[in-house]
A and B are shown apart, each in its own frame.
Chain A
């Protein structure tokens, strides 16, 4: 009988990095000859045909089959009880949890979930036989929480998910101006205010016609967004654009139309938009924190400190110097190879054979 390697996550949604990884991993496991389904606590309507409700996993629960538990926020008490009863071999895949302190005064539910999520880690240690993380940064946290060792299972970069054609009308709107791009959930750990401050100096001193595009979901972050919008207003910055959650083809358009990818994030379990920027030949300038140095490797420009006027000048230099830009892009291309499906598949194979 073929060994099953199934996956569990609270829910699968579009645009979320963990969900994309789950779908890519399922495709990879199928290619490798394993039977693999996705089970969720909350079965999403959008992915109804690709997922199963978690209670249906009981048909496959036995001591031989493997259940990969994707963990990025918290599991409800119901899920924790359910996991205790399942005899399958369980492996946690840790995508990291944003420290709860970031959500203080912004969203009580996220604050609570992030706090509980981290406190749940030692309990999950008792339930799982091994821990994998999508970066060394995440693996270290698993080891701190009691796992003896932890190995990296990197994010799979599937360019097919970005194969949409750019929207011509939007692309036209993006032309003839300097566009600074950031992609990610508009969460406080991303330090969006630092992007706005850098943009202030860039616009005032170097490129008066520059625009800052902040692409990503604002759901649950309304109070933070209100602060950011007030900040932009007080600094008289009319060209700070919050797009909210957008379609895949719009995302592709923003990558095509942008001149630089700027990140000031101080907590990233991985950072998928960095890979996407590499794919779209967008020079990356990112603050060196959490898993960012691992994802960028020798590519991009990493900021050790946040000196906003100097970062604005650095952006100016990168945009003016074609040779420098080409060098950055070439290195980013090399780095991206480490996350392509065929490269990651070898790592998955090696991780599975070590079990």
Chain B
């Protein structure tokens, strides 16, 4: 179905009288005398807003990751000490939890600091890498210009 504003609308469904429904939709759309009277259509508002608030992806913006962002975090955040064996398991878990708590108290501040440093370093390295790529492209461009 091509609407009078030039846009298409198609749908599918088994055992459904598609032609009849499409005609009904067409009739209903034609019956609106008001149309949408704003300066911008809702679709345009959505597009503009998206550009303003999120921006649009450009393939040049992505390059291969040097290091995974998730790998920069070295803090063991999800270590669970549980037990499934009755009695002995419970005692074993308590002992391991006490040791774990003591080690964490000693190590955690350093691990958190190191994770922050890792993340910042990754950001710096990626920015430098991106700049390097751009500079290489510019050098290649200048070379081509000089040769021609």
Chain A residues within 8 Å of B, Cβ to Cβ: 11, 41-45, 48-49, 53, 74, 76-78, 100-101, 104-106, 108-109, 112-113, 115-116, 119, 193, 196-197, 200-201, 204-205, 223-224, 226-227, 230-231, 234-235, 285, 288, 298-305, 307-311, 313-314, 316-317, 324, 327-328, 331
What residue in chain B is nearest A45 (Cβ atoms)? Answer: B80
Asked whether any CB of chain A lies closer than 8 Å to the CB of B148, the reply is no
A116 lies within 8 A of B65 (CB) = yes
**Contacts A48-B82, A305-B10, A310-B1; is A223 near B28 (CB within 8 Å)?**
no
B9 lies within 8 A of A231 (CB) = no
Which A residues are CB-close (under 8 A) to B14?
A: 298-299, 331
A301 lies within 8 A of B11 (CB) = yes
Bound CA span A21–B123, Å: 36
Shortest distance from the beta carbon of B140 to any chain A beta carbon, whole Å? 25
Chain B residues within 8 Å of A, Cβ to Cβ: 1, 3, 7-16, 21, 24-25, 28-29, 32, 36, 42-43, 45-46, 49-50, 53-57, 61-62, 64-65, 68-71, 77-80, 82, 84
Shortest distance from the beta carbon of B41 to any chain A beta carbon, whole Å? 9
A303 lies within 8 A of B11 (CB) = yes
Shortest distance from the beta carbon of B53 to any chain A beta carbon, whole Å? 4
Bound CA span A103–B86, Å: 46
Which B residues are CB-close (under 8 A) to A74?
A: 68, 70
Bound CA span A45–B54, Å: 35
What residue in chain A is nearest B58 (Cβ atoms)? Answer: A104
Contacting residue for B80 out of A43, A223, A304, CB 8 A: A43
Interface-centre pick from A100, A204, A309 (highest chain B CB count, 10 A)? A309
Shortest distance from the beta carbon of B12 to any chain A beta carbon, whole Å? 5
Bound CA span A196–B10, Å: 20
Which B residues are CB-close (under 8 A) to A45?
A: 80
What residue in chain B is nearest A321 (Cβ atoms)? Answer: B21
Which B residues are CB-close (under 8 A) to A42?
A: 77-78
Bound CA span A76–B15, Å: 48
Which A residues are CB-close (under 8 A) to B24?
A: 313, 317
Which B residues are CB-close (under 8 A) to A205?
A: 32
Shortest distance from the beta carbon of B72 to any chain A beta carbon, whole Å? 10
Which B residues are CB-close (under 8 A) to A108?
A: 69
Which B residues are CB-close (under 8 A) to A49?
A: 82, 84
Interface contact tally, CB-CB below 8 A: 136
**Contacts A76-B71, A105-B57; is A230 near B9 (CB within 8 Å)?**
no
- 6 closest A-B pairs (Cβ-Cβ)? A42-B78, A307-B9, A104-B57, A304-B10, A310-B9, A298-B14
Q: Secondary structure of the A side of the interface?
A: helix
Which A residues are CB-close (under 8 A) to B77?
A: 42
Shortest distance from the beta carbon of A318 to any chain B beta carbon, whole Å? 9
Shortest distance from the beta carbon of B114 to any chain A beta carbon, whole Å? 16
A308 lies within 8 A of B8 (CB) = no
B13 lies within 8 A of A328 (CB) = yes
A76 lies within 8 A of B61 (CB) = no
B13 lies within 8 A of A301 (CB) = yes
Contacting residue for A105 out of B13, B54, B78, CB 8 A: B54
**Contacts A115-B62, A328-B13, A331-B15; is A223 near B49 (CB within 8 Å)?**
no
Bound CA span A112–B9, Å: 36
Bound CA span A301–B57, Å: 31
Q: What are 19 A-B interface contacts by the 8 Å CB criterion?
A: A43-B78, A43-B82, A48-B82, A105-B55, A105-B56, A193-B46, A196-B46, A197-B46, A223-B54, A226-B53, A298-B15, A299-B13, A299-B14, A302-B12, A303-B11, A305-B8, A307-B8, A309-B3, A317-B25
A223 lies within 8 A of B53 (CB) = yes
B62 lies within 8 A of A305 (CB) = no
